[in-house]
Amino acid sequence: MIGFYNINKPVGMGSTSIVSKIKRITKAKCGHLGTLDPMATGVLPVAVGKATKLFDYFLNKDKKYFAIGKFGVLTDTLDSEGKVIKRDNKKVTLQDINSVINEFVGELSQVPPIYSSVNVDGKRAYDIARSGKEIELNPRKINVYSLSAQEYSNEGCFSFEIHCSAGTYVRALIRDIAEKLGTVATTVCIIRTASGPFKIEDSYLLEDVENGDAKLIDIADVIDLPKHEILEEEKIKLLNGMNVKINLNDGESLCYYKGNIIGIVETKQGYSKIKINLWEKV
* pLDDT tens sequence for the chain (282 residues): 899 999 999 998 989 999 999 999 999 999 999 889 888 999 999 999 999 999 999 988 999 999 999 999 999 999 998 999 999 999 999 999 999 999 999 999 999 887 767 777 677 776 776 777 777 778 999 999 999 999 998 789 999 999 999 999 999 999 999 999 999 999 999 999 999 999 999 999 999 999 999 999 999 999 999 999 999 999 999 999 999 999 899 999 999 999 999 999 999 998 999 999 999 875
Domain boundary among 139, 173, 191: 191
pLDDT at 282: 57
Which stretch of DSSP H or E encloses residue 18?
helix 15-26
In this predicted structure, what is the pLDDT of residue 121?
Answer: 67
- How many whole angstroms separate alpha carbon 30 and alpha carbon 5? 10
Domain of 25, in residue numbers: 3-61+197-220
In this structure, the answer to whether residues 106 and 131 fall within a common structural domain is yes
Among 33, 240, 232, which Cα is nearest to 255's?
A: 232
Which pLDDT value is given to residue 198? Answer: 97
Classified as helix, coil or strand, 222 is coil
Which of 258, 255, 100, 116 has the alpha carbon at shortest distance from 183?
100
Same domain flag for 170 and 91: yes
What is residue 94's DSSP assignment?
H
Report whether 272 contacts 266 (CB < 8 A). yes
Are residues 249 and 238 located together in one domain of the fold? yes
Do the domain assignments include residue 79? yes
CATH code where residue 48 lies: 3.30.2350.10
Dihedral over Cα of 152, 189, 143, 109: its sign: positive
Q: Is position 117 within any domain?
A: yes
Residues 8 and 49 in one domain: yes
d(CA 274, CA 220): 16
Q: What is the Cα–Cα distance from 100 to 133, expressed in whole angstroms? A: 34
Give the DSSP per-residue string, 51-70: GGGGGGGTTT--EEEEEEEE
> Cβ(240)–Cβ(214) under 8 Å?
no
Tell me: do 67 and 159 sit in the same domain.
Answer: yes
Number of domains composing the chain: 3
pTM of the model: 0.91
**Active-site residue numbers?**
37
Task: Give the span between the Cα atoms of 6 and 9, in whole angstroms.
Answer: 9
